[in-house]
A and B are shown apart, each in its own frame.
Chain A
Amino acid sequence: MAGRGGSGSGMVEGALWKKWLYFYIPLFVFMVGTLFPFYWMLVTAFRPDGELYRPWRAVNNTPFWTTHPTYEHFVYLFQQTMFGTWLYNTMFIAVISTVISIFCGLLAGYALARLRFPLAGSIGTSIFVTYLVPPTLLFIPLANIVRDFRLGDTPWALILTYPTFLIPFCTWLLMGYFKTIPKELEECARIDGASRIRAMVQIVFPIATPGILSAGIFAFTLSWNEFLYALVFLSSPQQKTVPVGVLSELIRGDVFFWGPLMAGALLGSVPVALIYSFFVEHYVAGLTGAVKG
């Protein structure tokens, strides 16, 4: 039974070595390849400096492990850098820009999925096209605009620009979701005297909760991951986000503080990884929904 049901599984029946060769070994290699960098991040973060900076051919009895785990890199991170502030900044920016994007995406997605009005088609297409515009195309003029609006070096520079790549995604995901909700539900409510807005907010939006969750989690991880705008629009250390802070404050010239760097990378990944692990299914739905959109 175990070998059947999937594509290309018929040949595995009978010969166990074939199942190992075509399935377990490749899957194991994929697992190791995918996860090793994270494992190495973890080991490095807890390794004392003496073990980290050892010539590459030196005798090494515990190459992939450490017998002297230390917290010194984490202590350094919180005492010598503003890592706590960066974490807070990243969280604040990611949460607010996600909320803004969900709000805009809900309204726009509903309008495009349900209402008929002139230009609906072309507005929908333009929103889809902005989804495909990479931030690297616009960062130089945007830096000017952010400065003109006096938003430079404030979290609002990012909170207002992140929605440019989050809203299109949220809109398309939620629009697809709204289309699956039967119109009759709203029409019943409207016959009972509810206004269109009321039917939208009280009937349609609650049913779309899984879609909202998917879009929200996806948007949150995207904003947590964003780097270029944060690098260009922010300059003072106390305003930075985790990726920018770690990269710019823990690498000085050619000197890499690998212990604190990996400790920072680890801690900076934990919030997204946690949220992701709680909502894996929603995340996957968002990912595949975005592709279908």
Chain B
Amino acid sequence: MAAREPRSIAGGAGGAAEAASRLTVAPRATARAAWLGQALENERVLGFLLLSPTVVLLGLFIAYPFVKGVWISLTNATVGNPGAFVGLHNFEKVFHDSIFRQATYNTFVYTALATVGKLALGMWLALLLNRHFRAKRLVRASMLLPFIIPTVLSTLAWKWMFDPTFSVLNWSLYHAGIIQTRIGWLTDPTMALMSVVVVNIWRGMPFYAISLLAGLQTVSPELHEAAAIDGANGWQRFWRITWPLVLPVTMVVTLFSVIQTFADFQLVYALTGGGPANSTHLFATYAYQVGIVTGLLGEGAAASLAMFPMLFVIVIIQLWYIRRVEGA
């Protein structure tokens, strides 16, 4: 507050100067420029002015679509037809659809398995990268590649590796003597869901590793040395020292990643398209199938809004956790 006082006084003085400039014979344009200059010195005016492009864009393409999405989900709109109000009919219809139920189950399995996998492997990789070795920068930079290369393009490489007939993975496993018959990576329903999870882990793990590495680098080596002198082994030191210290970063990374995984679309769309026999649909691919491919906008909007409660809970946890960490 103290910092604010002098400025408001300066604003008052500016007002007087402005009045003075109006009294003199100064041309109107100069007076307007001066008035504008004074207005821009006011924190309220400037604050709103600087935020306005952001607020307009986000309002137009996030808030408005959200409201519109809720409205569409309550109508029987189709492509080119605004439709009429039908209440909760779309939600009812969607919840009774066996494919939607399968998609709900898949989304939770996919999110849970992929998150655990990414966290465990990401932490392991971060611990490895936190040591000193030759070409560390190069290794670290190349480890991030799956995260920066467009997902659809790298997923296509996986799809080729999982090809039922020409799979290099099957070829290698067969010639290593591990399998006798080929594995239907994307043709067997259970296997397909697992394959999608594996590719998601592959793509998201570097994000965890690099973020956690940044957290690990703040952990003082002296703590580890002291614990080692006291006889703690590597495992104990990880759980008693490293883990509690990187927990805040881990929480933020995990919550952020859970949202992305839960609402994932492109990976599944490119790898399986929801198949075989709808066994790998997630909320988003199902909503796309119903809303865009079939053209039932109302039902599609309802299906994608079905993600909202879960996303809402995660966002609340995220906000609460950040407040708590910042407050502490």
Contacts and interface: CB of A to CB of B under 8 A. Distances in A.
A136 B263 contact: yes
A30 B128 contact: yes
Interface stretch (B17-25, B55-63, B98-106): B55-63
A112 B270 CA distance: 39
Interface stretch (B110-118, B147-155, B189-197): B147-155
A26 B256 CA distance: 27
Interface of A: 1-11, 23, 26-27, 30-31, 33-35, 37-38, 40-41, 44, 52-57, 60, 63-64, 100, 103-105, 107-108, 110-112, 115-118, 120, 123, 125-130, 132-145, 160-161, 163-164, 167-168, 171, 195-197, 221, 224-225, 227-228, 231-232, 242-244, 246-247, 256, 258, 261-262, 264-265, 268-269, 272-273, 276-277, 280, 283-284, 287-288, 291-292
A283 B133 contact: no
Contact of B207 (A53, A118, A144, A287): A287
Nearest to A33: B202
Contact of B166 (A9, A35, A53, A288): A53
18 contacts: A2-B132, A8-B238, A40-B157, A60-B171, A117-B43, A130-B62, A132-B256, A132-B259, A136-B265, A227-B150, A228-B266, A232-B292, A256-B160, A261-B156, A265-B154, A268-B153, A269-B149, A288-B210
A140 B291 CA distance: 7
A263 to B, nearest CB: 11
A117 B41 CA distance: 12
Nearest to A30: B125
Given A136-B263, A247-B270, A291-B252, A41 B157 contact: yes
Task: Determine chain B's interface SS by DSSP, over half rule.
Answer: helix
A120 B47 contact: yes
A265 B156 contact: yes
Interface string B296-324: 01001100110110010011001100000
A11 B236 CA distance: 12
B48 A269 contact: no
Contacts of A221: 148
B228 A63 contact: no
Interface string B164-208: 011110111011000000100000000000000000001000110
Contacts of A63: 168, 171-172, 175
Q: Which 9 A-B pairs have the closest CB atoms?
A: A134-B263, A6-B131, A117-B47, A136-B284, A141-B69, A111-B50, A265-B153, A288-B214, A243-B152
B153 A141 contact: no
Contacts of B132: 1-2, 4-6
B252 A56 contact: no
Contacts of B148: 221, 225, 272-273, 276, 283
B53 A107 contact: yes
Residue among B43, B149, B283, B307 facing the most chain A CB atoms (10 A cut-off):
B149
Given A52-B166, A141-B66, A116 B301 contact: no
Nearest to A45: B157
A123 B50 CA distance: 12
B50 A145 contact: no
Contact of A133 (B62, B146, B214): B62
A195 B40 CA distance: 8
Contacts, number: 324
B16 interface: no
B237 A7 contact: yes
Contact of B211 (A103, A160, A287): A287
B30 interface: no
Nearest to B225: A10
Given A7-B216, A7-B242, A10-B225, A268 B62 contact: no
A40 B168 contact: yes
Contacts of A115: 43, 46-47, 50
A283 B51 contact: no
Contacts of A246: 152-153, 156
Interface string B111-145: 00000000001001101101111000101111111
Nearest to B235: A8
B12 interface: no
A27 B57 contact: no
Residue among B53, B144, B157 facing the most chain A CB atoms (10 A cut-off):
B157
A164 B62 contact: yes
Contacts of B256: 132, 291
A227 B151 contact: yes
B160 A164 contact: no
B142 A34 contact: yes
A7 B238 contact: yes
A20 B34 CA distance: 72
B166 A38 contact: no
B297 A140 contact: yes
B224 A8 contact: yes
Given A8-B127, A35-B145, A56-B167, A168 B41 contact: no
Nearest to A58: B171
B214 to A, nearest CB: 4
B58 A167 contact: yes
Contacts of B156: 246-247, 261-262, 265
B41 A196 contact: yes
B221 interface: yes
Contacts of A60: 171
Given A140-B292, A142-B65, A7 B127 contact: yes
